[in-house]
Structure 1
Protein backbone atom coordinates (compact mmCIF):
# COMPACT_ATOMS: atom_id res chain seq x y z
CA UNK A 1 0.00 0.00 0.00
CA UNK A 2 1.36 3.40 -1.03
CA UNK A 3 0.22 6.78 0.24
CA UNK A 4 -0.97 9.33 -2.31
CA UNK A 5 -1.71 12.95 -1.53
CA UNK A 6 -4.20 14.23 -4.12
CA UNK A 7 -5.31 17.85 -4.04
CA UNK A 8 -8.82 18.80 -5.11
CA UNK A 9 -10.60 15.45 -4.87
CA UNK A 10 -14.07 16.95 -4.68
CA UNK A 11 -14.76 16.50 -8.38
CA UNK A 12 -13.38 15.68 -11.82
CA UNK A 13 -9.96 14.13 -12.26
CA UNK A 14 -9.05 14.37 -8.58
CA UNK A 15 -12.16 12.46 -7.55
CA UNK A 16 -11.58 9.82 -10.25
CA UNK A 17 -7.94 9.37 -9.22
CA UNK A 18 -8.97 8.90 -5.59
CA UNK A 19 -11.59 6.33 -6.59
CA UNK A 20 -9.16 4.23 -8.67
CA UNK A 21 -6.44 4.36 -6.01
CA UNK A 22 -8.80 3.40 -3.19
CA UNK A 23 -10.31 0.54 -5.17
CA UNK A 24 -6.89 -0.97 -5.84
CA UNK A 25 -5.91 -0.72 -2.18
CA UNK A 26 -3.71 2.37 -1.94
CA UNK A 27 -4.06 4.92 0.81
CA UNK A 28 -5.27 8.38 -0.19
CA UNK A 29 -4.92 11.69 1.58
CA UNK A 30 -7.32 13.96 -0.26
CA UNK A 31 -7.70 17.70 0.05
CA UNK A 32 -10.87 19.77 -0.20
CA UNK A 33 -11.52 23.44 0.35
CA UNK A 34 -14.66 22.44 2.24
CA UNK A 35 -14.95 19.07 3.98
CA UNK A 36 -18.70 19.13 3.38
CA UNK A 37 -17.82 18.14 -0.22
CA UNK A 38 -16.99 14.65 1.07
CA UNK A 39 -18.75 11.96 -0.99
CA UNK A 40 -21.02 9.26 0.51
CA UNK A 41 -18.98 6.58 -1.30
CA UNK A 42 -15.95 7.57 0.77
CA UNK A 43 -17.44 6.80 4.18
CA UNK A 44 -16.29 3.19 4.25
CA UNK A 45 -12.74 4.13 3.22
CA UNK A 46 -12.59 6.89 5.83
CA UNK A 47 -13.86 4.55 8.53
CA UNK A 48 -11.27 1.95 7.56
CA UNK A 49 -8.42 4.44 7.61
CA UNK A 50 -7.69 4.11 3.89
CA UNK A 51 -8.84 7.66 3.11
CA UNK A 52 -8.11 10.79 5.06
CA UNK A 53 -9.48 14.20 4.14
CA UNK A 54 -7.62 17.47 4.78
CA UNK A 55 -9.18 20.91 4.50
CA UNK A 56 -7.04 23.46 2.66
CA UNK A 57 -7.15 26.12 -0.03
CA UNK A 58 -4.17 26.15 -2.40
CA UNK A 59 -4.30 29.98 -2.35
CA UNK A 60 -3.91 30.09 1.43
CA UNK A 61 -0.47 29.06 2.66
CA UNK A 62 -1.57 29.11 6.31
CA UNK A 63 -4.31 26.55 5.63
CA UNK A 64 -1.82 24.40 3.69
CA UNK A 65 0.74 24.51 6.51
CA UNK A 66 -1.95 23.64 9.05
CA UNK A 67 -3.04 20.65 6.97
CA UNK A 68 0.56 19.49 6.50
CA UNK A 69 1.25 19.75 10.24
CA UNK A 70 -1.71 17.45 10.91
CA UNK A 71 -0.28 14.62 8.78
CA UNK A 72 3.03 13.31 10.08
CA UNK A 73 3.61 10.29 7.84
CA UNK A 74 5.57 9.58 4.63
CA UNK A 75 3.89 10.47 1.33
CA UNK A 76 4.94 8.37 -1.66
CA UNK A 77 3.19 10.36 -4.39
CA UNK A 78 1.92 13.94 -4.42
CA UNK A 79 -0.57 14.74 -7.18
CA UNK A 80 -1.07 18.47 -7.61
CA UNK A 81 -4.50 18.33 -9.19
CA UNK A 82 -6.46 21.32 -7.85
CA UNK A 83 -6.89 23.99 -10.51
CA UNK A 84 -9.24 26.33 -12.36
CA UNK A 85 -9.91 27.18 -16.00
CA UNK A 86 -9.73 30.93 -15.33
CA UNK A 87 -12.05 33.87 -15.93
CA UNK A 88 -14.61 34.13 -18.76
CA UNK A 89 -12.65 37.04 -20.26
CA UNK A 90 -9.10 35.88 -20.90
CA UNK A 91 -8.13 37.03 -24.36
CA UNK A 92 -4.87 38.93 -24.84
CA UNK A 93 -7.07 41.73 -26.23
CA UNK A 94 -9.78 41.54 -23.56
CA UNK A 95 -8.37 40.42 -20.23
CA UNK A 96 -9.83 40.17 -16.74
CA UNK A 97 -6.54 40.97 -15.03
CA UNK A 98 -7.73 40.13 -11.52
CA UNK A 99 -9.01 36.81 -12.84
CA UNK A 100 -5.68 36.21 -14.55
CA UNK A 101 -3.85 36.79 -11.28
CA UNK A 102 -6.17 34.39 -9.45
CA UNK A 103 -5.61 31.75 -12.14
CA UNK A 104 -1.84 32.05 -11.68
CA UNK A 105 -2.27 31.99 -7.89
CA UNK A 106 -4.18 28.71 -8.01
CA UNK A 107 -2.65 26.87 -10.99
CA UNK A 108 0.99 27.97 -10.68
CA UNK A 109 1.71 29.07 -7.11
CA UNK A 110 -0.72 26.62 -5.51
CA UNK A 111 1.23 23.49 -6.49
CA UNK A 112 4.49 25.04 -5.29
CA UNK A 113 2.92 25.95 -1.95
CA UNK A 114 1.76 22.34 -1.57
CA UNK A 115 5.24 20.99 -2.33
CA UNK A 116 6.87 23.35 0.17
CA UNK A 117 4.47 22.35 2.94
CA UNK A 118 4.54 18.58 2.34
CA UNK A 119 8.20 18.18 1.32
CA UNK A 120 9.19 16.75 4.73
CA UNK A 121 6.66 13.92 4.25
CA UNK A 122 7.88 13.31 0.70
CA UNK A 123 11.47 13.16 1.91
CA UNK A 124 10.53 10.44 4.39
CA UNK A 125 9.26 8.16 1.60
CA UNK A 126 11.43 6.00 -0.62
CA UNK A 127 11.60 7.26 -4.23
CA UNK A 128 8.83 9.85 -3.82
CA UNK A 129 7.12 11.39 -6.84
CA UNK A 130 5.59 14.83 -7.48
CA UNK A 131 2.99 14.88 -10.24
CA UNK A 132 1.54 18.17 -11.42
CA UNK A 133 -1.62 18.04 -13.50
CA UNK A 134 -0.88 20.50 -16.29
CA UNK A 135 -2.25 20.74 -19.83
CA UNK A 136 -1.06 20.49 -23.40
CA UNK A 137 -2.59 23.97 -23.70
CA UNK A 138 0.43 25.24 -21.76
CA UNK A 139 2.97 23.88 -24.24
CA UNK A 140 4.91 26.66 -25.97
CA UNK A 141 4.86 24.55 -29.13
CA UNK A 142 1.18 25.53 -29.51
CA UNK A 143 0.51 29.05 -30.78
CA UNK A 144 -3.21 29.10 -29.95
CA UNK A 145 -4.38 32.05 -27.87
CA UNK A 146 -7.79 31.07 -26.49
CA UNK A 147 -8.00 30.87 -22.67
CA UNK A 148 -4.62 32.58 -22.44
CA UNK A 149 -4.68 32.97 -18.65
CA UNK A 150 -5.12 29.22 -18.27
CA UNK A 151 -2.48 28.50 -20.91
CA UNK A 152 0.01 30.86 -19.28
CA UNK A 153 -0.60 29.40 -15.82
CA UNK A 154 0.09 25.89 -17.10
CA UNK A 155 3.19 26.95 -19.03
CA UNK A 156 4.45 28.57 -15.84
CA UNK A 157 3.72 25.57 -13.63
CA UNK A 158 5.55 23.36 -16.14
CA UNK A 159 8.66 25.48 -15.58
CA UNK A 160 8.18 25.34 -11.81
CA UNK A 161 7.91 21.55 -12.00
CA UNK A 162 11.03 21.34 -14.16
CA UNK A 163 12.85 23.43 -11.56
CA UNK A 164 11.69 21.15 -8.76
CA UNK A 165 12.99 18.18 -10.72
CA UNK A 166 16.40 19.82 -10.93
CA UNK A 167 16.53 20.88 -7.28
CA UNK A 168 15.27 17.54 -5.90
CA UNK A 169 17.24 15.27 -8.23
CA UNK A 170 19.99 14.56 -5.70
CA UNK A 171 17.34 13.43 -3.21
CA UNK A 172 15.85 10.92 -5.65
CA UNK A 173 12.46 12.66 -5.87
CA UNK A 174 10.82 12.59 -9.30
CA UNK A 175 8.88 15.66 -10.49
CA UNK A 176 6.92 15.69 -13.75
CA UNK A 177 4.06 17.54 -15.42
CA UNK A 178 1.22 15.57 -16.99
CA UNK A 179 -1.53 16.35 -19.47
CA UNK A 180 -4.65 14.38 -18.50
CA UNK A 181 -6.21 14.67 -21.94
CA UNK A 182 -9.34 16.56 -22.90
CA UNK A 183 -11.51 14.99 -20.22
CA UNK A 184 -15.27 14.87 -19.74
CA UNK A 185 -15.44 16.91 -16.52
CA UNK A 186 -17.07 20.18 -15.47
CA UNK A 187 -13.95 21.92 -16.79
CA UNK A 188 -13.54 19.89 -19.99
CA UNK A 189 -17.22 19.70 -20.90
CA UNK A 190 -19.38 16.84 -22.13
CA UNK A 191 -17.96 16.97 -25.68
CA UNK A 192 -14.41 16.20 -24.51
CA UNK A 193 -12.48 13.26 -25.95
CA UNK A 194 -12.16 10.83 -23.04
CA UNK A 195 -14.02 9.73 -19.92
CA UNK A 196 -12.58 10.84 -16.62
CA UNK A 197 -12.16 7.20 -15.51
CA UNK A 198 -10.03 6.46 -18.58
CA UNK A 199 -7.81 9.46 -17.92
CA UNK A 200 -7.39 8.56 -14.25
CA UNK A 201 -6.44 4.97 -15.06
CA UNK A 202 -3.88 6.13 -17.63
CA UNK A 203 -2.39 8.68 -15.25
CA UNK A 204 -1.95 6.06 -12.55
CA UNK A 205 -0.23 3.68 -14.98
CA UNK A 206 2.11 6.52 -15.91
CA UNK A 207 2.83 7.37 -12.28
CA UNK A 208 3.52 3.74 -11.41
CA UNK A 209 6.18 3.51 -14.14
CA UNK A 210 8.01 6.77 -13.47
CA UNK A 211 11.70 6.55 -12.63
CA UNK A 212 14.42 9.13 -12.06
CA UNK A 213 15.48 9.08 -15.70
CA UNK A 214 12.09 10.64 -16.55
CA UNK A 215 12.18 13.43 -13.99
CA UNK A 216 11.63 16.94 -15.33
CA UNK A 217 9.60 15.68 -18.29
CA UNK A 218 6.11 16.47 -19.59
CA UNK A 219 3.80 13.54 -20.47
CA UNK A 220 0.26 12.99 -21.58
CA UNK A 221 -2.05 10.50 -19.87
CA UNK A 222 -1.00 7.71 -22.23
CA UNK A 223 2.68 8.08 -21.31
CA UNK A 224 3.71 9.88 -24.50
CA UNK A 225 6.18 12.72 -23.96
CA UNK A 226 5.05 16.25 -24.84
CA UNK A 227 7.34 19.15 -25.83
CA UNK A 228 7.41 21.99 -23.32
Structure 2
Protein backbone atom coordinates (compact mmCIF):
# COMPACT_ATOMS: atom_id res chain seq x y z
CA UNK A 1 0.00 0.00 0.00
CA UNK A 2 2.84 2.37 0.73
CA UNK A 3 4.93 1.61 -2.35
CA UNK A 4 4.87 3.44 -5.67
CA UNK A 5 1.85 2.40 -7.69
CA UNK A 6 3.15 0.31 -10.60
CA UNK A 7 1.70 -2.33 -12.89
CA UNK A 8 4.56 -4.66 -11.93
CA UNK A 9 2.97 -4.99 -8.49
CA UNK A 10 0.15 -6.97 -10.09
CA UNK A 11 2.56 -9.92 -10.45
CA UNK A 12 2.35 -10.49 -6.68
CA UNK A 13 -1.42 -10.87 -6.78
CA UNK A 14 -2.79 -14.19 -5.55
CA UNK A 15 -5.51 -16.30 -7.13
CA UNK A 16 -9.01 -14.82 -6.82
CA UNK A 17 -7.61 -11.66 -5.23
CA UNK A 18 -7.64 -7.98 -6.08
CA UNK A 19 -4.54 -5.84 -5.55
CA UNK A 20 -4.87 -2.10 -5.02
CA UNK A 21 -1.87 0.22 -4.71
CA UNK A 22 -2.12 3.57 -2.97
CA UNK A 23 0.68 6.15 -3.01
CA UNK A 24 1.03 7.99 0.30
CA UNK A 25 3.74 10.57 0.96
CA UNK A 26 4.37 10.44 4.70
CA UNK A 27 6.73 13.39 4.52
CA UNK A 28 3.60 15.49 3.96
CA UNK A 29 2.65 16.76 7.42
CA UNK A 30 -0.87 17.52 6.18
CA UNK A 31 -1.37 13.75 5.96
CA UNK A 32 0.48 12.61 9.06
CA UNK A 33 -1.24 15.26 11.18
CA UNK A 34 -4.66 14.14 9.95
CA UNK A 35 -4.99 10.33 9.73
CA UNK A 36 -8.51 10.76 8.33
CA UNK A 37 -6.95 12.01 5.10
CA UNK A 38 -4.94 8.80 4.85
CA UNK A 39 -8.16 6.82 5.21
CA UNK A 40 -9.81 8.91 2.50
CA UNK A 41 -6.92 8.16 0.12
CA UNK A 42 -7.25 4.45 0.78
CA UNK A 43 -11.03 4.42 0.36
CA UNK A 44 -11.05 6.41 -2.85
CA UNK A 45 -8.31 4.22 -4.35
CA UNK A 46 -9.86 0.85 -3.47
CA UNK A 47 -13.47 1.10 -4.65
CA UNK A 48 -14.44 2.08 -1.11
CA UNK A 49 -13.62 -1.13 0.74
CA UNK A 50 -15.84 -1.62 3.77
CA UNK A 51 -13.53 -3.39 6.21
CA UNK A 52 -10.03 -4.77 6.86
CA UNK A 53 -9.44 -8.11 8.59
CA UNK A 54 -5.65 -7.95 8.81
CA UNK A 55 -3.41 -4.91 8.47
CA UNK A 56 0.28 -5.68 7.83
CA UNK A 57 2.79 -2.82 7.89
CA UNK A 58 6.11 -3.76 6.32
CA UNK A 59 7.52 -0.62 4.72
CA UNK A 60 10.72 0.69 6.32
CA UNK A 61 13.88 2.61 5.59
CA UNK A 62 17.46 1.93 6.56
CA UNK A 63 20.15 4.51 7.21
CA UNK A 64 23.85 3.56 7.51
CA UNK A 65 24.42 1.05 10.30
CA UNK A 66 26.88 3.00 12.44
CA UNK A 67 27.75 2.94 16.16
CA UNK A 68 25.34 4.86 18.39
CA UNK A 69 28.00 7.51 19.00
CA UNK A 70 27.90 8.30 15.28
CA UNK A 71 24.13 8.46 14.69
CA UNK A 72 23.08 11.79 13.19
CA UNK A 73 19.94 13.77 13.94
CA UNK A 74 19.06 13.66 10.24
CA UNK A 75 19.14 9.85 10.19
CA UNK A 76 17.02 9.70 13.33
CA UNK A 77 14.39 11.99 11.84
CA UNK A 78 14.29 10.00 8.60
CA UNK A 79 13.94 6.64 10.34
CA UNK A 80 11.33 7.80 12.83
CA UNK A 81 9.29 9.46 10.08
CA UNK A 82 9.08 6.27 8.01
CA UNK A 83 9.53 3.46 10.54
CA UNK A 84 7.51 4.86 13.43
CA UNK A 85 5.24 7.76 12.46
CA UNK A 86 4.08 6.29 9.13
CA UNK A 87 2.86 2.91 10.45
CA UNK A 88 1.36 4.50 13.56
CA UNK A 89 -0.63 7.01 11.52
CA UNK A 90 -1.61 4.26 9.08
CA UNK A 91 -3.03 2.19 11.91
CA UNK A 92 -4.90 5.17 13.35
CA UNK A 93 -6.30 5.94 9.91
CA UNK A 94 -7.46 2.40 9.16
CA UNK A 95 -8.58 1.32 12.63
CA UNK A 96 -12.26 2.12 11.83
CA UNK A 97 -12.04 -0.36 8.93
CA UNK A 98 -10.57 -3.01 11.23
CA UNK A 99 -13.40 -2.36 13.68
CA UNK A 100 -15.90 -2.95 10.88
CA UNK A 101 -14.58 -6.46 10.18
CA UNK A 102 -16.28 -9.55 11.57
CA UNK A 103 -14.16 -11.98 13.54
CA UNK A 104 -10.53 -11.47 14.63
CA UNK A 105 -8.93 -8.14 13.82
CA UNK A 106 -5.16 -8.36 13.36
CA UNK A 107 -2.38 -5.78 13.17
CA UNK A 108 1.00 -7.20 12.15
CA UNK A 109 4.04 -4.94 12.39
CA UNK A 110 7.20 -6.21 10.70
CA UNK A 111 10.23 -5.26 12.76
CA UNK A 112 13.71 -6.61 13.48
CA UNK A 113 15.60 -8.46 16.17
CA UNK A 114 18.10 -5.59 16.24
CA UNK A 115 15.34 -3.63 18.00
CA UNK A 116 15.41 -5.94 21.03
CA UNK A 117 16.80 -4.29 24.16
CA UNK A 118 16.97 -7.27 26.51
CA UNK A 119 18.47 -9.51 23.83
CA UNK A 120 20.63 -6.98 22.03
CA UNK A 121 22.85 -8.60 19.42
CA UNK A 122 26.49 -7.65 18.70
CA UNK A 123 25.58 -5.59 15.65
CA UNK A 124 25.18 -1.84 15.35
CA UNK A 125 21.50 -1.04 14.80
CA UNK A 126 21.74 2.73 14.44
CA UNK A 127 18.71 4.96 13.91
CA UNK A 128 16.85 2.08 12.28
CA UNK A 129 16.83 0.02 15.48
CA UNK A 130 15.83 2.99 17.63
CA UNK A 131 12.84 3.77 15.43
CA UNK A 132 11.78 0.11 15.42
CA UNK A 133 11.92 -0.06 19.23
CA UNK A 134 9.45 2.81 19.34
CA UNK A 135 6.99 1.14 16.97
CA UNK A 136 7.39 -2.17 18.79
CA UNK A 137 6.17 -0.44 21.93
CA UNK A 138 3.21 1.11 20.13
CA UNK A 139 2.22 -2.23 18.61
CA UNK A 140 2.32 -4.01 21.96
CA UNK A 141 0.33 -1.18 23.54
CA UNK A 142 -2.44 -1.70 20.98
CA UNK A 143 -2.71 -5.32 22.09
CA UNK A 144 -2.95 -4.30 25.75
CA UNK A 145 -5.28 -1.33 25.30
CA UNK A 146 -7.73 -2.52 22.63
CA UNK A 147 -9.22 -5.48 24.46
CA UNK A 148 -12.87 -5.38 23.41
CA UNK A 149 -15.96 -4.80 25.50
CA UNK A 150 -16.16 -6.79 28.72
CA UNK A 151 -13.41 -9.12 27.55
CA UNK A 152 -15.65 -10.52 24.83
CA UNK A 153 -12.72 -11.58 22.66
CA UNK A 154 -13.36 -8.92 20.06
CA UNK A 155 -10.20 -7.04 20.88
CA UNK A 156 -7.26 -6.47 18.55
CA UNK A 157 -4.56 -9.07 17.93
CA UNK A 158 -1.48 -6.86 17.64
CA UNK A 159 1.87 -8.58 17.02
CA UNK A 160 5.38 -7.46 16.10
CA UNK A 161 7.19 -9.93 13.83
CA UNK A 162 10.84 -10.09 12.83
CA UNK A 163 10.65 -11.85 9.44
CA UNK A 164 14.18 -13.20 9.67
CA UNK A 165 17.28 -11.65 8.16
CA UNK A 166 15.96 -11.92 4.62
CA UNK A 167 17.83 -11.46 1.35
CA UNK A 168 16.06 -8.25 0.40
CA UNK A 169 17.81 -5.08 -0.72
CA UNK A 170 17.71 -3.85 2.88
CA UNK A 171 19.05 -7.15 4.22
CA UNK A 172 21.92 -7.13 1.76
CA UNK A 173 22.70 -3.50 2.60
CA UNK A 174 22.85 -4.33 6.30
CA UNK A 175 25.24 -7.20 5.56
CA UNK A 176 27.52 -4.75 3.79
CA UNK A 177 27.42 -2.32 6.72
CA UNK A 178 28.25 -5.19 9.07
CA UNK A 179 31.04 -6.27 6.71
CA UNK A 180 29.84 -9.83 6.22
CA UNK A 181 29.41 -11.69 2.94
CA UNK A 182 25.83 -12.49 1.90
CA UNK A 183 26.95 -15.88 0.59
CA UNK A 184 28.46 -16.78 3.96
CA UNK A 185 25.41 -15.82 6.02
CA UNK A 186 23.11 -17.60 3.59
CA UNK A 187 25.16 -20.80 3.74
CA UNK A 188 25.41 -20.48 7.52
CA UNK A 189 21.64 -20.33 7.85
CA UNK A 190 21.62 -16.81 9.27
CA UNK A 191 19.94 -15.21 6.24
CA UNK A 192 16.80 -16.56 4.59
CA UNK A 193 15.24 -16.14 1.16
CA UNK A 194 12.23 -13.91 0.70
CA UNK A 195 10.03 -16.96 0.09
CA UNK A 196 11.16 -18.55 3.37
CA UNK A 197 10.51 -15.30 5.18
CA UNK A 198 7.02 -14.90 3.71
CA UNK A 199 6.09 -18.48 4.61
CA UNK A 200 7.11 -17.88 8.22
CA UNK A 201 5.22 -14.60 8.46
CA UNK A 202 2.06 -16.17 7.02
CA UNK A 203 2.24 -18.95 9.62
CA UNK A 204 2.39 -16.36 12.38
CA UNK A 205 -0.41 -14.22 10.94
CA UNK A 206 -2.70 -17.23 10.56
CA UNK A 207 -1.95 -18.52 14.05
CA UNK A 208 -2.10 -15.22 15.92
CA UNK A 209 -4.77 -14.90 18.63
CA UNK A 210 -5.11 -12.59 21.61
CA UNK A 211 -4.14 -15.41 23.96
CA UNK A 212 -1.27 -16.86 21.96
CA UNK A 213 0.11 -13.62 20.49
CA UNK A 214 0.83 -15.44 17.24
CA UNK A 215 2.74 -18.37 18.73
CA UNK A 216 2.90 -21.30 16.33
CA UNK A 217 4.69 -24.67 16.62
CA UNK A 218 7.70 -23.81 14.48
CA UNK A 219 11.08 -24.27 16.21
CA UNK A 220 10.42 -21.41 18.58
CA UNK A 221 12.11 -20.22 21.75
CA UNK A 222 11.58 -17.07 23.76
CA UNK A 223 14.45 -14.79 24.65
CA UNK A 224 15.08 -13.89 28.28
CA UNK A 225 13.32 -10.53 28.26
CA UNK A 226 10.23 -12.00 26.62
CA UNK A 227 10.53 -9.50 23.83
CA UNK A 228 11.43 -11.76 20.94
CA UNK A 229 10.10 -15.08 19.72
CA UNK A 230 12.83 -16.80 17.71
CA UNK A 231 11.46 -19.02 14.97
CA UNK A 232 14.70 -20.85 14.27
CA UNK A 233 17.95 -18.93 14.47
CA UNK A 234 18.13 -17.74 10.91
CA UNK A 235 15.22 -19.48 9.24
CA UNK A 236 11.70 -18.37 9.91
CA UNK A 237 10.50 -15.48 12.00
CA UNK A 238 10.71 -13.88 15.38
CA UNK A 239 7.77 -12.44 17.27
CA UNK A 240 8.59 -9.37 19.31
CA UNK A 241 6.02 -8.95 22.07
CA UNK A 242 7.32 -5.84 23.80
The gaps in structure 2 that reach 5 residues or longer are: 32-36, 149-153, 173-181, 186-190, 215-226
Instruction: Classify 1:165/1:227 alpha carbon distance in 2 versus 1 (closer, same or farther; 3 Å).
Output: closer
Question: Which residue of 1 is the match for residue 11 of structure 2?
Answer: 41
Structure 2 residue aligned with 1:98: 74
The answer on 1:153 being equivalent to 2:123 is no
**Shift of the alpha carbon at 1:224?**
5.6
- Give the superposition deviation at 1:198: 0.5
RMSD: 2.8
Deviations 1:22-58 (A, max 9, x none): xxxxxxxxx144213743625x769x76212222234
Residues 195 and 173 (structure 1), Cα distance of their counterparts in 2 relative to 1, 3 Å cut = same
Query: What are the residue-to-residue correspondences of 1:24-103 with 2, within 5 Å?
Result: 31-36=1-6, 38-39=8-9, 41=11, 50-60=18-28, 62=31, 64-70=38-44, 71-86=48-63, 88=64, 90-103=66-79
> 1:179 corresponds to which residue?
162
1:187 & 1:224 partners in 2: Cα distance? 18
Mapping of residues 84-163 of structure 1, within 5 Å: 84-86=61-63, 88=64, 90-125=66-101, 126-141=103-118, 142=120, 144=122, 146-163=124-141
Q: Partner residue of 2:175?
A: none
Gaps of 5+ in 1: 1-30
> Is the contact made by 1:178 and 1:220 (CA closer than 8 Å) also made in structure 2?
no
Q: Pick closer, same or farther for the CA change 1:187–1:121 going to 2, 3 Å.
A: same
CA contact (8 A) 1:165 1:175 kept: yes
3-state SS of 2:84 partner = helix
